[in-house]
Amino acid sequence: MNIALINATIFTGEEKLENKSILIQNGLIFSITDQSEIPSDYQITDLHGLSIAPGLIDLQIYGSGGKLFGALPDEEGLEQLEKDLLDQGTTGFFATAATNSDEVVIIAIDAAKAYRKKAKGNFLGLHLEGPYLNEKRKGAHPEKYIKKGTLSEIKSWVERAEGEIKMITIAPELQDQELIDYLYSNNIIISAGHSNASYEEALSFLNNPVQAATHLYNAMPPIHHREPGLIPAIFKLKPYTSIVADGVHVSFPMIELAKRELGAKLFLITDAVTESNEGAYQHKFTGNRYTMPDGTLSGSCLTMLKAIENCVEKVNISLDEALRMGSTYPAQLIKDSARGLLKAGYKADIIVFDKNFKHHSTYISGKLN
């Protein structure tokens, strides 16, 4: 079916357009054109002044709707994530498995492979956050599972995953170069996180070949005037850097600072979890945040659209730029040339929302969710 979306403000990821229509054909954006140019065989959907943007992309989320894939991975958890995220306008995500036993990592890998056959289309693969972290910056990750990586172990996981591992968060300062080089050679995004790297150490590995940094400020050494640490190195070399824009994990003035320093390299994640009372991660919801039983701050209760709203309303980032932080920039990091923009030839993955940042509808590959 050929579809035309009309009467909406269009944020393409490159520009903001008014009085234009999006034509969708065979699951792809065919063109953006004047309403008078819509062919007669297109079914018209009038959006009555709503806004359209590229579907959102969340590269770090653990669970939703009571199913915590990040700690208790199974196909049902991935199915729940796909459903809930499509209902929120997120048309691409990395299901994230947090530091855990080797057995649980393997279960997560096997679940991803099995689920791939029936995925709706927004599950893009796995992000392993750990276990190769620095225990000095463990955050909510159980210290008993944190370890130094070995080439033999990571090879076994990557080969077993058959392409499902897309991203891994590690503390690069503790890992052997051969492990880092292996990950890079297998096109796995390497992100520095839960790291206690010095400024000098970080300068040696950022963009060489560590392409990204995980949840800026959180689980990193704070900036110190005599020991600058990881964060100033990130600001200097500007790898793609994720941030949790909820005002809890990171204050809004510090998000403003990060945006000023990193520009188009700063992107949004939710880092979202769901309540759980079993396994290694027993997240408890306490009003506006999740914590571990000992009170340690854990994952967020964000949605991607709420993160965008916060950037606009609390950090004074323009709406079109905040939308790029939620879609265009993460698509660039993962080198996905079919997502992150609304232009001819791209997947018709679209979020529709109103002026109050309320989600209206989602299209994935041109189909209304």
Q: Which residues form the catalytic set?
A: 271
Give the DSSP letter of residue 11: E
Strands 350-353 and 43-54: antiparallel
Give 70-90 as a DSSP string: TTS--HHHHHHHHHHHHTTTE
Q: What letter represents residue 27's amino acid? A: G
Beta bridge partners of 206: 210
And the tokens for 264? 């188009």
Among residues 44, 126, 53, 40, the alpha carbon closest in space to that of 346 is found at 53
Q: Do 235 and 203 touch, CB atoms closer than 8 A?
A: no
And the tokens for 194? 């839960």
Give 209-275 as a DSSP string: TB-EESSTTTTSPPP-SSS--HHHHHHHH--EEEEE-SSSSS-HHHHHHHHHHHGGGEEEE--B---
| Distance from C-alpha of 192 to C-alpha of 254, rounded to nearest angstrom | 19
